[in-house]
């Protein structure tokens, strides 16, 4: 198929086709995916909530507060980060309904720039971005447990890494059972996440109402009603240094704000993941926008509300020096005994994000293997190893076009081989990396291709104005995202040269692998 033709359009009868320019495409795009169409908009909503609400809302408030002059500015950073995620998600929804296909941004980049860009996106996500994400979440899970029992070490010892590996294996095994098991577990974790945030909000409201009834009794930090929320105050850093915001230059202030935005973007990471199950939705052109436009605003409200609660429960000079805002706030409000309960909730929240990201990582690998970018065995579902016709010992287990049996697809089997590959690569990141380095590495990898994808959407608006777009937001939305994401990538590349060099090296290896594989199998 020519790269000029939108990927994965169906071949319906002539009456259902639309012609524009020299292209002829189906007016009702239909894609034959590896997995059965059995998910609803509610499942898409749950997947986004499960992936996005993770460790960020509980660990990022401290680093964000340390880089802004006031609590009000911190809340604005959380709002801006959320709106940026929303603009990106809406643009992805437009592309997902206009250019259907497996693998999230892979088919979009292939359609816009050519197959090499689609491959590089898949390569980056499979060997770098998703393994780094899973490694970070596994590390945070274990560190949350140790923090709750009072063990805090500057460097992660081997025992912590081994426990992180164990967590990763358990989550990958859970996702290997079948799709229904993954979605049911995901729904449970969504309930846990919403319950955790609700508890925080209730605690904050309790403090506010008690103080309103009796101003001599303040169970919170006290600063929330005695100081201005947007009034600059000196900020204490974890190493003891103090930032006097009145003496900070505009250039330095921009640096601090961009660092704070990085923290917020990590907390919102995962907003693009609904597109990776677009081909599993029963009616993606309707359900994908619904899932995004319900999940992302919900997440923004939860994040802004939770951070406002932190400023109510804690003195304002405490938040900037803690990496466990939720545990610190709960400990101050309810005592040390509840710190363990809070840590358990946070671990369950992180486990939900691990489950959702592992679920999506398997889908990414399958999509790349189906395009023959990776070994075909990675596209097999429902079994370990290469596909064979005797799968399930059933006479009606016919092979689909991609080698997947119809029965395995209908049963919602999982991509076991792809999940194993993801777990192995993530294990390498756990053993060799640390959380702060991986965070920057992950952000650079993601936002480079987010920028290219959204820029491509703007290009398509001009190049293919008649492309069928069941969902089409204002052009202002992708333009805003493209500008801010470009700034994020450029600044990250300048201030993190080591991670940037490693990422560039992986891209060069990917390009070499791509051309070598095409030459061998052409």
- For helices 284-313 and 71-98, what crossing angle results, to 10°? 170
d(CA 463, CA 456): 10
d(CA 378, CA 102): 14
Q: For residue 268, what are the contacts with CB-CB under 8 A and spacing of at least 6?
A: 52, 56, 81, 82, 84, 85, 299, 303
d(CA 1, CA 466): 20
Tell me what pLDDT residue 408 has: 45
Do 386 and 375 meet the contact criterion of CB atoms below 8 Å apart?
A: no
Pair of tokens at residue 129: 């971005």
Taking 70 as the pLDDT cut, the residues of the chain under it are: 1-40, 102-103, 147-156, 178-183, 186, 274-281, 323, 386-413, 436, 522
- Taking only the tens place, the pLDDT of each residue in 101-139 is 766 788 889 999 999 999 999 999 999 999 998 998 888
Do 426 and 138 meet the contact criterion of CB atoms below 8 Å apart?
A: yes
Domains along the chain with CATH numbers: 34-380+415-521 (1.20.1740.10)
Pair of tokens at residue 379: 């596209």
Instruction: Give how far Cα 32 sits from Cα of 57, 106, 304, 378, 381, Å.
Output: 37, 16, 40, 18, 15
Nearest 5°: phi and psi at 473? Answer: -75, 170
Q: How many CB atoms lie within 10 A of CB 356?
A: 30
Tell me what pLDDT residue 18 has: 38
Do 208 and 201 meet the contact criterion of CB atoms below 8 Å apart?
A: no
Tell me what pLDDT residue 276 has: 64
pTM, to two decimals = 0.77
Tell me what pLDDT residue 387 has: 61
- Taking only the tens place, the pLDDT of each residue in 393-415 is 344 445 554 445 444 444 446 78
d(CA 144, CA 243): 28
């Amino acid at each position: 198929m020519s790269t000029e033709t939108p990927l994965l359009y169906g071949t319906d009868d002539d009456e259902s086709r639309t012609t524009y320019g020299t292209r002829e495409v189906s007016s009702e795009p239909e894609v034959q995916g590896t997995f059965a169409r059995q998910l609803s908009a509610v499942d898409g909503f749950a997947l986004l909530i499960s992936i996005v609400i993770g460790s960020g809302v509980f660990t990022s408030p401290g680093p964000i507060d340390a880089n802004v002059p006031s609590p009000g500015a911190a809340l604005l950073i959380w709002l801006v980060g959320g709106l940026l995620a929303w603009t990106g998600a809406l643009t992805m929804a437009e592309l997902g309904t206009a250019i259907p296909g497996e693998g999230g941004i892979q088919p979009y980049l292939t359609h816009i720039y050519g197959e090499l860009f689609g491959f590089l996106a898949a390569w980056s996500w499979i060997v770098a971005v998703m393994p780094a994400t899973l490694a970070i979440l596994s590390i945070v899970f274990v560190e949350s447990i140790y923090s709750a029992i009072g063990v805090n070490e500057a460097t992660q010892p081997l025992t912590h890494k081994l426990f992180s590996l164990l967590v990763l294996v358990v989550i990958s095994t859970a996702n290997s059972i079948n799709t229904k098991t993954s979605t049911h577990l995901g729904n449970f974790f969504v309930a846990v996440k919403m319950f955790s945030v609700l508890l925080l909000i209730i605690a904050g409201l309790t403090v506010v109402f008690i103080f309103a009834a009796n101003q001599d009794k303040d169970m919170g930090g006290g600063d929330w009603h005695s100081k201005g929320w947007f009034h600059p105050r000196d900020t204490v850093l974890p190493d003891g240094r103090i930032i006097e915001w009145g003496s900070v230059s505009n250039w330095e202030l921009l640096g601090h704000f961009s660092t704070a935005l990085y923290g917020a973007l990590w907390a919102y990471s995962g907003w693009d993941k609904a597109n990776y199950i677009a081909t599993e939705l029963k009616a993606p052109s309707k359900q994908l926008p619904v899932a995004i436009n319900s999940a992302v605003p919900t997440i923004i409200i939860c994040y802004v509300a939770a951070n406002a609660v932190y400023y109510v429960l804690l003195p304002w000079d405490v938040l900037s020096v803690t990496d466990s805002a939720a545990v610190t706030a709960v400990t101050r409000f309810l005592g040390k005994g509840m710190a363990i309960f809070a840590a358990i909730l946070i671990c369950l929240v992180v486990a939900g994000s691990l489950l959702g990201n592992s679920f999506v990582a398997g889908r990414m690998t399958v999509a790349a293997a189906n395009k023959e970018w990776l070994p075909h065995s990675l596209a097999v579902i429902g079994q370990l190893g290469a596909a064979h016709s005797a799968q399930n010992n059933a006479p009606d287990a016919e092979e689909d076009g991609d080698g997947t049996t119809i029965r395995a697809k209908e049963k919602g089997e999982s991509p076991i081989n792809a999940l194993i590959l993801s777990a192995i690569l993530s294990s390498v990141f756990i053993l060799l990396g640390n959380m702060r380095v991986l965070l920057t590495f992950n952000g650079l990898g993601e936002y480079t291709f987010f920028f290219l994808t959204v820029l491509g959407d703007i290009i398509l608006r001009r190049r293919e104005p008649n492309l069928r777009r069941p969902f089409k937001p204002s052009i202002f939305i992708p333009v805003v995202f493209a500008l801010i994401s470009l700034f994020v990538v450029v600044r990250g590349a300048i201030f993190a040269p080591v991670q940037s060099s490693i990422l560039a090296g992986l891209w060069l290896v990917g390009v070499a692998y791509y051309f070598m594989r095409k030459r061998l199998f052409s």
